[in-house]
Amino acid sequence: MPLGHTAMILMEKILGHDYVFKAALFLGIAGSAVMIYGYKCKNNTIATISGLFAGLFIWTGWIEFAHVYVAHTLNVPPLMEANEIVTKPEYLIMPASAGFLCFFLIYFLFKTDTGCNFYITLQRFFKIKGLSNKTPAVKNNYAIITSVEIIMILWTFYLLLLFTYDIKFFGDKHFVTHLIAYGSLLWSAYLFVKLLKIDNLGRAIRYAIPTVIIFWNFVEILGRWNLFKEIWIHPNEHWLEVTFILIVFLVILSYTMIGFTKRNKTV
């Protein structure tokens, strides 16, 4: 999550408005290519990792930077408090997509083969027996499942926080905001405990996506309250710390993939 924020900031700073949107277009195309690779991959874990990066590339390139482009074109001003930017222009226009999100959330509620524990619980509660696609090639396509998962969860919680911050609804100091912050912390802790019991790497990665993003709600709100400085959105000032985070991420990813490869060779 912090590296994603840093990557977006660096793209804007290094490329500037003349080239960043073209780069964002190609980033989304790269994400699509990675997803196609994962679609054709028969290995559960490799397909999941492909879907993870595909979703991140598509979200950043085609969704986040699309909002940046529209906000820049329309000269949308940022939301300011005490002469500081608290919400960037692109996030001020993102709530306009709430209707699309609601449609997809309803669709997945009635699609009974998503495999999502959250939706399975809702479907049991409401006794829903709806749409189903039993085609194995689609059902077991972990690259597409993972990319859709990360985009939908990012989209959902972005809008949740943006509407919560809006003073027309609650505001960032409201009791509801505190409830979301500490509720997300407890929810993610519960998911993390369950995550530790998963011994399949592909499934663990798919389960880790909501675990991390829900935890990040807590981090985002703490940053909104100015309880700490979000170093990942100031990479020029904190290049050492951000570099350290990147190195740790790459080391853990490499260790995981090497271990996974060795296990597959012994099977």
Total-model pTM: 0.88
pLDDT of 197-243, one tens digit each? 998 889 999 999 999 999 999 999 999 998 988 999 899 899 999 99
For residue 62, give both structure tokens.
């085609």
* Residue type at position 241: E
Residue 135 has pLDDT above 60, yes or no: no
Q: Give, for 68, the enclosing helix (H) or strand (E).
A: helix 65-73
% of the chain exceeding 90 in pLDDT: 66
Instruction: Determine contact, residues 39/144, Cβ cutoff 8 Å.
Output: yes
What's the confidence (pLDDT) of residue 140? 64
pLDDT bracket for residue 136 (50, 70, 90): very low
Q: What is the DSSP secondary structure assignment for residue 77, as one 8-state letter?
A: P
Asked if 50 and 37 count as a contact pair (C-beta separation under 8 A), the reply is yes
Q: Which two tokens stand for residue 220?
A: 């985002």
